[in-house]
Structures are given as structure tokens and as C-alpha cells.
Amino acid sequence: MKFQYKVVLVTGSSRGIGAAIAKAFAKEGATVIINYLQNKEAAERVVEACIKAGGDAWAIRADVTSAGDVKQMIDEILLEVAKIDVVVNNAFKPYIFDPDQRKLAWELTWDDYQKQIDGAVRSTHFLCQAVIPIMKKQSQGSIINIATDLVARPMIPYHEYTTAKSALIGYTRNLAAELGAFGIRVNSVAPGLVYPTSVSQYTKEEVKEMLISQTPLKRIATPEDIPGPVLFLASDWSRFMTGQTLYVDGGLVMN
């Protein structure tokens, strides 16, 4: 098993993409920490699925936009397992991908942007600040931040969400440049539309059909399409990669 004896923290992993990532790590033998904010029952179901898949897991409630919550969560993990090998920053501020209900550029306030920046960058910053000393001491570690292909191709201008994810990619690259000397790698995965998830349920059929028609692989991603690239970036297979963004959208964005 590729991640046997590895400790992996996945934020926002009680459902959707985060849950799929957590279960994939568990299938490869990892000990997975399921971070959630509100839905304890859903988080416990993911824990059960991880254990059934062959790994170990437990759930921790923490608001990752709170420095205090993050510190408490990291302290609890260290008390239990004494290390953290991989962090996947998947949690984000709730956002509804509905092209008919989105705010237009002239309707947005700065607070709209700030909420998404806090959800994407502030939370990642708090997690990274907390785990960097641990990973430096270990002389190794992998941090993977979940972005979006809208950064490269804003098919629908979800302004505040995409701006925040753009900042997250910039944060990723700067962190990678600083932490490489300590054996810590920092990369991003940028999915396209992932369906079904709670945030994509409002996506209109005509939008999905438009995306499918322009996607070389002729379909929309499912949550199970995302873990593979994440596990690749967390593994030794990508040991000479850092500061990179992998677009996982069937070829809609080609770099």
C-alpha cells in the first residue's frame, strides 16, 4: 500500500470531493483525519468507509478559518500519531454554482470577495502555518491545495470564487519556493465542474452540456476522478514536482 504508515489530513472531507480523497488515501493504507465543520454524522460515515477500505481514520471538528481551531486540531493529531505527512486543503467557503443567480461584477461588494478569500486562502494559510514546523522537523511533507480550472478558463465568471482560487494558486507557488529547501512540496489540483456534489447541484443542464461539448473526454468529472491526481502529488512518484497545478477537467484546460 503506497501510503501505509502515512498520516493524512483532509480538510472539508465529510462529503463530496474531500470524502472521495479521504477514502482513496485510506484504500492505500493511510491514517486519515476527516476534518469537518457541521455534519458530524456525515464525517463519521466517511470514517467508517475509510476503515472498511483498509486504512485508519477518525473525525475532528474544526473551523479552518479559525487559527485557534486549527491549532487545537493539529495538537490533537500530534498527540495521537506524532506526525503529519500530507495535508490536503480542500475546505472552502460554501458557494452555489448557479449561473442565473450569481452576482455580476457591478453587483459585488468587497465583502463578497473577502468571504471567499478567507475560505480559500486564510484557511490554507492557517493550516500551512501549523504544519510547516512539523514537516520541517520531519524533513519531508506534501501539501496539496484544491483550486479550480476556472482560474485558467472562466467559462462562467464566478468572480469572487475564482479570484480567491487564483490567489490560492499564487500562495501555493510562493510556499513551494520557500519550503523546497526543507523537503516540503506544495502543489495544487484544479478540478473542473464536479458532479454530483452539494455545490454543483444547481448547475443547469445546458451548462453541463456546454462543458461536455467542449471537453475532449466528453463528460463531466465525478468526485472519484479527483483523488488520483491528489494521491500522485502526495506520493514519491511526484517527488521532483513542486509549485505545480494539475488541471483535472478532461482536457478543457490544456497547459
| pLDDT recorded at residue 12 | 95
Q: Which CATH superfamily is domain 7-248 in?
A: NAD(P)-binding Rossmann-like Domain (3.40.50.720)
Written as nine digits, the cell of 30 is 493511510
Q: Report the pLDDT averaged over residues 114-140.
A: 97
| 61 half-sphere exposure, CB direction, 13 A CA radius | 7
| pLDDT recorded at residue 9 | 98
Instruction: Give residue 1's pLDDT band: very low, low, confident or very high (50, 70, 90).
Output: low
| pLDDT recorded at residue 26 | 98
- In 157-166, which positions are buried (b, 16+ CB within 10 angstroms) versus exposed (e)? ebbbbbbbbb
Selected catalytic residue, list 95, 113, 158, 161: 161
| pLDDT recorded at residue 95 | 86
Computed over every residue of the chain, the mean pLDDT equals 95
Q: Report the pLDDT averaged over residues 239-245.
A: 98
Dist CA 123 CA 103 (whole Å):
24
Domain locations in the chain?
7-248
Q: Is the pLDDT of residue 83 over 90?
A: yes
For residue 113, indicate whether it is catalytic: no
| pLDDT recorded at residue 198 | 67
Dist CA 215 CA 229 (whole Å):
18
pTM: 0.95
Dist CA 33 CA 73 (whole Å):
10
Q: Are 243 and 173 spatial neighbours (Cβ–Cβ below 8 Å)?
A: yes
Q: Is the pLDDT of residue 97 over 90?
A: no
Q: What is the pLDDT of residues 173-220, one digit of tens each?
A: 999 999 999 999 999 999 999 987 767 676 778 888 999 999 999 999
Residue scoring higher pLDDT (218 or 100): 218
What does residue 80 show for φ and ψ, rounded to 5 degrees?
-85, -45
What does residue 246 show for φ and ψ, rounded to 5 degrees?
-95, 120
Closest CA to 7 of 91, 92, 72, 79: 79
Dist CA 87 CA 15 (whole Å):
17
- Over its C-alpha atoms, the chain yields an Rg (Å, rounded) of 17
Q: Residue 62, Cα to own-chain centre: how many angstroms? A: 16
Q: What is the pLDDT of residues 28-59, one digit of tens each?
A: 999 999 999 999 999 999 999 999 999 999 99
Bridge pairing between strands 184-191 and 245-248: parallel
Closest CA to 195 of 223, 217, 169, 214: 223
DSSP character for 117?
H
Q: What is the pLDDT of residues 5-36, one digit of tens each?
A: 999 999 999 999 999 999 999 999 999 999 99
Written as nine digits, the cell of 120 is 480559500
Instruction: Give residue 100's pLDDT band: very low, low, confident or very high (50, 70, 90).
Output: confident
Q: Is 92 exposed, middle or buried (0-12, 13-18, 19+ CB in 10 A)?
A: buried
Dist CA 200 CA 151 (whole Å):
17
